[in-house]
Amino acid sequence: MSHSSRQQGRAEQLSLFDTTPDGSEPAGSTSGKDSCVKPAAHSDDLRQLAATLPPRLYLGTSSWSFPGWTGLVFAPREPNRRGRGAHTTAGQGGVVEESTQRLARAGLPAYAAHPLLRTVSLDRSFYAPLTTEAYAAYAEQVPADFRFVVKAPQAVTDAVLRRSGTGEPARANPHFLDATTAITTFITPAVTGLGIKAGPLVFQFPPLGQQLLADRPRLIARIAAFLTALPRGPCYAVEVRDASLVCEAFGQAIQEVGGVPCLAVHARMPPVAAQADMFRLTQPDCSLPLVARWNLHAGHTYQQAKQTYAPFDRLVEEDLPTRHALATLATLAASRSREVFITINNKAEGSAPCSVEALAREICSPDRQPGITPAAGTQVAELNSSELSPSQSSRPA
């Protein structure tokens, strides 16, 4: 919650000025003592796997500040340098983990040293605006071939302002689909600060409610008009959480104004192959980047998955159909020299770095051939006809 909101005790606020769920700090707050988060030791096998991947394929995770990734992404912290917030795992020979806050401030260079992690989703920008200087500080910490997938503030993608704590709708959001707000608080700082390391800018629309969805053509036209008003150059990816928007009309409208439909693997949405098929992203004449966000395992809410999968140090529930579909889509796009960006959340299978490795091995499987598994269009139609209630939590994953 913003300082002014705490002072006034207001029950509602614009989510653009919220803090992140874990309270992590932005880049730019790194001090000398925070500069020694070390990368985990990576095997030659892992490095060889990375070298085998297509050069325009970018795999990564949603954020990086997870102590459970110690040994996977981050090296254990030296016991005599534990510092505030460090944690020792249970059992004999337990390792000292970095704290969430310290990883948020100083863990990005170690993350970017992982052979397979060539992108990351900056989710923080969904909750609070970042300055040009903060984006530049992130960019300085990664190699030249690293790319950031950046989430736009929910202040321009959520149709309502939500009550603090509950997330329940409070009133209409006057900044919804406001191109000026998007440009000044998001696009200009992100593109200027990240420079060539800026990847897709993702506008993730939460469930938009029955009132807006009742006139789907008008809603699609409004989103297209919003994209038209944005400056040309960046890759604008549009992600929705309403299955009824997974239709040819939506995909065509987004692409006609220079946008890219973002494939969302989420319990609310049709299977990812069906989305790609509906948006015509597998057609021979498609030259768009493939942007996919593997967010949440089917059958779980965000909170259920978090409780089940923490501390995110291993795969708990593998989603083999989604992994196979994403590998097939990535192989097809890469074979046509298209850029591919796939970011994975811990809530997808239990551990995002482990999911990245498993996906990379699937992509590099010697038995895999460029192509696409036929999508069952009936899956989209069935989900559209029984779409989840808009009152379901819209917390992003």
Q: Are strands 147-151 and 87-88 parallel, antiparallel or unpaired?
A: unpaired
With CA atoms as reference, report the closest residue to 164 among 301, 60, 12, 377: 12
Greatest Cα-to-Cα distance within the chain, rounded to the nearest angstrom: 62
Name the pLDDT band for 10 (thresholds 50, 70, 90).
very low
DSSP single-letter state for residue 116: T
Name the pLDDT band for 292 (thresholds 50, 70, 90).
very high
Q: Note the pLDDT tens digit of each residue in 154-168.
A: 999 999 998 888 888
Q: Note the pLDDT tens digit of each residue in 214-271.
A: 999 999 999 999 999 999 999 999 999 999 999 999 999 999 999 999 999 999 999 9
Q: What mean pLDDT comes out for the span 9-19?
A: 35
**Domain edges within the chain:** 3-385
CATH of segment(s) 3-385? 3.20.20.410
What's the predicted TM-score (pTM) here?
0.85
Q: How does 286-319 read in b/e, with b if 16+ C-beta sit within 10 Å?
A: bebbbbbbbbbbeebebeebbeebebbbebbeeb
Give the least confident one: 51-65, 88-102, 320-334: 88-102
DSSP per-residue string spanning 306-327: HHHHTT--S-SS--HHHHHHHH
Which comes out higher in pLDDT, residue 395 or 280? 280
Name the pLDDT band for 369 (thresholds 50, 70, 90).
low
- Residue 83 clears pLDDT 70, i.e. is over it: no
List the structure tokens of 376: 């069952």
Q: Note the pLDDT tens digit of each residue in 179-200.
A: 999 999 999 999 999 999 999 9
Q: How does 213-246 read in b/e, with b if 16+ C-beta sit within 10 Å?
A: eeeeeebbeebbebbeebeeebbbbbbbbbbbbb
